[in-house]
Every structure is written in C-alpha cells, then in structure tokens.
Amino acid sequence: MMNPPPAFLEYLKKYDKDNIAEWMKVEVKKLMAKDYFNETKMKAKSVAAANLCAWVVNVIEYNDIYVKVKPLQEEAERAEKEAKEKGEELRIVKEKVAVVVAKVNALREQLAEAEDKKQAVVD
C-alpha cells in the first residue's frame, strides 16, 4: 500500500477529508482511543508511522469540525444570496418611490401656483 512512497504521499494529499463516512470515523476513533495510537509512542517505533498517526488524527479532527461548520457556511451563503436579492428589490422600490416623490413635488408646485393665481384673483 505504501509502495512507492511518492504515490502514497500523493494519495494522502488528495484524500477527500471533507467526506469521510461516519462508520469509518467511528472505527478510526476506536483505534485513536488506544494507548499506543499517538505520535509520541509511534515515533519510538517509526518516524513514518508517527507522521501517519498524526495525519490520521488531524484528518479526523478536521472532518469533525468541517461537518459542523459546513451547514453553517451553506446557511451563510444562502442568507448572503437572499440579502443580495432583497437589496436589489429595495433598490427598485427606492427608484419607484423617487419617481412618485418627484411627481408629488411637481403637483405641489402646480398647486402652489394655482393657489397664488386664485389669491391674485380674489385680491
């Protein structure tokens, strides 16, 4: 499995850390619970085994965090998309309101002119 080493290292680099089956994590955590499965004790036997042990521990810890964070990231992305959509809707409404306000101001000016003319006639 570990021969040739460069191919094995490439396999480890490309390992899909995001999608580890739950049953696999359960089995690996059983192994991680063993007294001998830590980098220090493994180093006494083999530096390569110690590094591989550290890699396994880190991958499992990464996946545990990723599984918790991924839904939060997806929710944040969804909320950001919704906020963008709502922001665009708000911009459109503000444009429409500006048009209506401009019309109202024009009508007020006309009314003021008409009232001035009326007052002039009354005087």
pLDDT tens-digit readout, 32-69: 999 999 999 999 999 989 999 999 999 999 999 999 99
Task: State the Cα–Cα distance between residues 37 and 56, nearest whole angstrom.
Answer: 10
Q: Tell me which of 2 and 72 has the higher pLDDT.
A: 72
Instruction: Cite the DSSP H helix spans in the chain.
Output: 5-14, 22-32, 39-45, 47-122
Residue at 121 is within a domain: no
Q: Model pTM?
A: 0.66
Q: What's the distance, Cα to Cα, between the start and end of the chain in Å?
A: 107
53 alpha carbon, distance to own chain's centre: 30
- Domain of 39, CATH number, reads 1.20.920.60
The domain tally of the chain equals 1
Residue at 107 is within a domain: no
Residue at 50 is within a domain: yes
Q: Which domain holds residue 58?
A: 5-87
